Chains A and B, each alone.
Chain A
Amino acid sequence: METGSAAGAETTGTEPEWTGLPPGLLRMRRLLLVVWLGLLALAVGLLLGLFAGPVWAAFALLPLAVLAWGWVLLGRNWRSWRYAERADDLLITRGVLWREETVVPYGRMQLVEVTSGPVERHFGLASVQLHTAAAATDATIPGLDPAEAERLRDRLTELGEARSAGL
């Protein structure tokens, strides 16, 4: 039933070592953004240009503006994601406008999940999700390198077992 360790008490006072996300996730998201909005701009431009006149085709600039804005937003959002493995708990911070910081003690973890969708797999990415007994706990680290995701999963599971506590 004992949780935590004596060594943990000393390290928690200092600033934790933050790890950012690998650039793969940003690349994937930007590529998806460019592909979808590029297609949209093309469709809008062609359709309006053919059926309503060349002046109307200027509306195709709208998706392009969104693209430029989204490009910046994605970069800011990607930079805001950080996580830190401390001796006894995992820290995750994210968000630019709506900031959120989550602390999950290893002993409370019920399940660690590694997921990877088809697009993510193509880009060689995987996400790690932590579940505790509280459904409100929202601890996901997206866009990790699969090897790193697996290392994190194994380490979290191991630490969780060592410090395990019930409800």
Chain B
Amino acid sequence: MTAPGVEGAIGAGKAVGERRLHPVTPFRRAWAPVAVLTGWAVHDPNQAQEQLTKLTTTMVLGGLAVLVTAGALYGFLTWWFTYFSVTDSELRIRTGLLFRRTAHIRLERIQAVDITQPLLARVAGVAKLRIDVVGTDKKDELAFLGQGEARRLRAELLARAAGFAPETAHEVGEAPAHELMRVPPNKLAISILLTGATWGSLAAALVAPPFLWLTTHSVWTVLATAVPLLGAAATTSVGRFVGEYDWTVGESPDGLRIDHGLLDRTHETVPPGRVQTVRIVEPLLWRPLRWVRVELDVAGSANSVLVPVAPRAVAESVVARVLPGVTVPRELLRPPGRARWCVPLWWRGYGLAVTDAVFAARHGLLRRRLALVPHAKVQSVRLTQGPWGRLWRLADVHVDTGANKTVTARLRGAEEAASLLREQAERSRTGRRTARPDRWMA
């Protein structure tokens, strides 16, 4: 993907159709020196104050001017030397002032496309566009583009990836989307209140600092523990609420669309056939309400939530749209009773179901997690058995997927596991026959 030095054409002149990012981009780096100074001042307040008294006003102003100019110049130069272009089969990003870097991202390998807008970017009317391919990192995102341009570019990339002819690709426009579900704010708030982690972090933040005060009487120790604890409590409750606010799942010919966020808006698109695993999580306190959380794994993508909270029936209908032809199995086969000698109590949480389309394995007793893997997404199948497991004639079957997630059916009977291994290998091989092509419109 990266070919430093290979591009002989870099100095030779601009290739056809190369574009620069939005002119607001340099400003996102201008604040960096100020942030470094602030960080240093916060980190070591006494010394910072001491140093400040030594400085005269002119020196401070002069220093700031130099720093801001340097930051602005750096931002401007990186912006000036960053180009991107869309060819028939690739998105090319060329960047770097001293160390040149060229990324060619193949469009048929697209796993997901994300447009994110942090709060300040929303004010400025710009957005980041990120293409998830296996192996891309943060450097490969296009930050920033104009809002409208980002949407047009996403539509064009998806059209080309879908297999439309290059001449027509930029005229196809955005595929129409229809909403599958939306999470109301009150439901989201209740679901967060019913999560153990929220209360756990809050309790830790409220109990630990007074306790430390009583034992050490040191303000710094108390502050050093209270601030991170409060921060953690805030991110698990308020942060989650803000991030998952107005969660909307939609469907379009280009695939799944997930939009969310109160301050920072994120719009994700996952083309058809890219989902490697889907997990249905049932926290203990949600169970009386029959609510679930649905997570998904896409290769090369960091996004993992599909539905933050929804009634089970709604969640299952969404899963059916994400993995076409899949119904969430209701009846799961428990391990044989002798499994209690391997994993006491928790053995009851394990379960397995294999349907025509998916391999489904459940684990967890209090917080139940059911993982679904379409047969076509299975990369390899493994059977493992330790000495204690052999004594009780039990074995584990692992199914590896391309998103680097392994789904395990634990503690199956030895004969059952052996036949499961053979059959799953067969199913994962043939499961590909009905799968849609990578270029989903071709």
Contact = CB atoms under 8 A, between A and B. Distances in A.
Contact of A3 (B276, B422, B430, B437): B430
Contact of B401 (A101, A103, A134): A134
A112 to B, nearest CB: 14
A99 B377 CA distance: 25
Interface string B70-92: 00000000000000000000000
Contacts of B424: 103
A138 interface: yes
Nearest to B299: A167
Nearest to B398: A136
A1 B437 CA distance: 7
B432 interface: yes
Interface string A16-36: 000000000000000000000
Given A97-B386, A167-B111, A167-B402, A3 B381 contact: no
A141 to B, nearest CB: 14
A4 B430 contact: yes
Nearest to A96: B387
Given A3-B433, A107-B429, A167-B134, A134 B406 contact: yes
A77 interface: no
A12 B429 CA distance: 12
Contacts of A97: 386-387
B379 A99 contact: no
A156 to B, nearest CB: 13
A167 B384 CA distance: 24
A59 B209 CA distance: 55
B151 interface: no
B441 to A, nearest CB: 15
B380 A139 contact: yes
Given A89-B425, A105-B425, A167-B276, A137 B400 contact: yes
Contacts of A165: 432
Interface string B428-441: 11101101011000
A1 B382 contact: no
B429 A88 contact: yes
A78 B299 CA distance: 36
Interface range, A side = 20 to 34
Contacts of A136: 380, 382, 398, 400, 404, 406
B426 interface: yes
Given A4-B430, A103-B421, A107-B432, A134 B387 contact: no
A89 B381 CA distance: 11
Nearest to B383: A101
Contacts of A166: 109, 438
Contacts of A108: 378-380, 428
Contacts of A12: 422, 426
B327 interface: no
Given A12-B426, A137-B380, 9 more contacts: A99-B383, A100-B385, A102-B382, A103-B422, A132-B402, A133-B379, A134-B401, A165-B432, A167-B276
17 contacts: A3-B430, A4-B429, A98-B384, A98-B387, A99-B390, A103-B380, A103-B422, A104-B380, A133-B299, A134-B402, A134-B404, A134-B406, A136-B404, A137-B382, A137-B400, A167-B274, A167-B276
Interface of A: 1-4, 8-9, 12, 88-89, 97-105, 107-108, 132-139, 165-167
Interface of B: 109, 111, 134, 274, 276, 299, 377-387, 390, 395, 398, 400-402, 404, 406, 421-422, 424-426, 428-430, 432-433, 435, 437-438
Considering the complex of A and B, which 10 residue pairs feature the smallest CB-CB distances, nearest first? A134-B400, A133-B402, A103-B425, A134-B379, A137-B380, A132-B379, A167-B402, A101-B383, A3-B432, A136-B400
